[in-house]
Chain A
Amino acid sequence: MLNNYETLLLMSPELAEENRKEILTNLTGIIERDGGTLTLVDDWGIKTLAYPVRKLTRGHYVRLEYVAPGALVAELERNVRIADGIFKFVTVRLPDAGAAAPATEPVPAPATEPVPATEEA
């Protein structure tokens, strides 16, 4: 049972570029390993926070979008908690449209083409 998920990570602004990359490759590795596929990495960059988190008023946001089985989310979040420099995170299940589309798209795509043809005839 695959679903579409997104995880928004709030990382320390003091984290070095290579450390952040290391954390991200680690997390994507976990997604790939447990039968998920990463669809999007959205880097928001450093933004001012609405309130200070661990006494810092800025943070680096990174959003991951992936298709994965539900069990993976728990495993990913466990690793997020272990990783240093991630202050906050939230995982949200995205509407099914995206998840169903990649699986079923190759099937109905040819099917939809003949349908208008028959309607015209």
Chain B
Amino acid sequence: MAFRKKFTPKRKFCRFCADKNLPLDYKRADILRDYITERGKIIARRITGTCAKHQRSLTTEIKRARQMALLFYTTVHSTDVKKKTV
């Protein structure tokens, strides 16, 4: 159908399955940042295409990063919003 052809989305894939060397680590906030929204919410795997196994560990790693102030919990508390010190 013409309709279906027009709207075929790009196939999503799990980045961590595709590249085994891509570290899934709470210390790599730069990678984890791809999987959270601007407001710091974890993006569902139906949106990102991450496989179930990696999404599970991704969640724990994001939460660890939040604990250590590598990622913020919400923008309201983030350094960008609050006054800078030291």
Chain A interface residues toward B at CB < 8 A = 8, 10, 13-14, 48-53, 55-59, 61, 63, 88, 90, 92
A8→B85 contact, CB < 8 A:
no
Q: How many residues of B contact A (CB 8 A)?
A: 19
A28 vs B66: C-alpha distance when bound (angstroms): 26
A14 vs B86: C-alpha distance when bound (angstroms): 8
Chain B neighbourhood of A92, CB < 8 A: 26, 64
A116 vs B70: C-alpha distance when bound (angstroms): 46
Asked, given contacts A56-B85, A57-B84, whether A51 binds B68 with beta carbons under 8 Å apart, the answer is no
Chain B neighbourhood of A56, CB < 8 A: 85-86
A51→B78 contact, CB < 8 A:
yes
Count of A-B contacts judged by CB separation below 8 Å: 52
User: Which residues of B from 58 to 86 have beta carbons under 8 Å from A?
Assistant: 64, 66-73, 77-79, 82, 84-86
Choice from A10, A13, A63 contacting B86 with Cβ under 8 Å = A13
Of chain A, the residue at the smallest CB distance from B77 is A51
User: Can you show 5 pairs from A to B with CB atoms below 8 A apart?
Assistant: A50-B66, A55-B85, A56-B85, A88-B68, A88-B69
Chain A neighbourhood of B79, CB < 8 A: 48-52, 57
Dominant secondary structure of chain B at its interface with chain A: loop
A57 vs B68: C-alpha distance when bound (angstroms): 12
Contact with A along B39-63 (1 / 0, CB 8 A): 0000000000000000000000000
B69→A50 contact, CB < 8 A:
yes
A49 vs B68: C-alpha distance when bound (angstroms): 9
A57→B72 contact, CB < 8 A:
no
B71→A50 contact, CB < 8 A:
yes
Of chain A, the residue at the smallest CB distance from B81 is A51
Chain A neighbourhood of B71, CB < 8 A: 50
A63 vs B28: C-alpha distance when bound (angstroms): 13
B68→A58 contact, CB < 8 A:
no
B86→A50 contact, CB < 8 A:
no
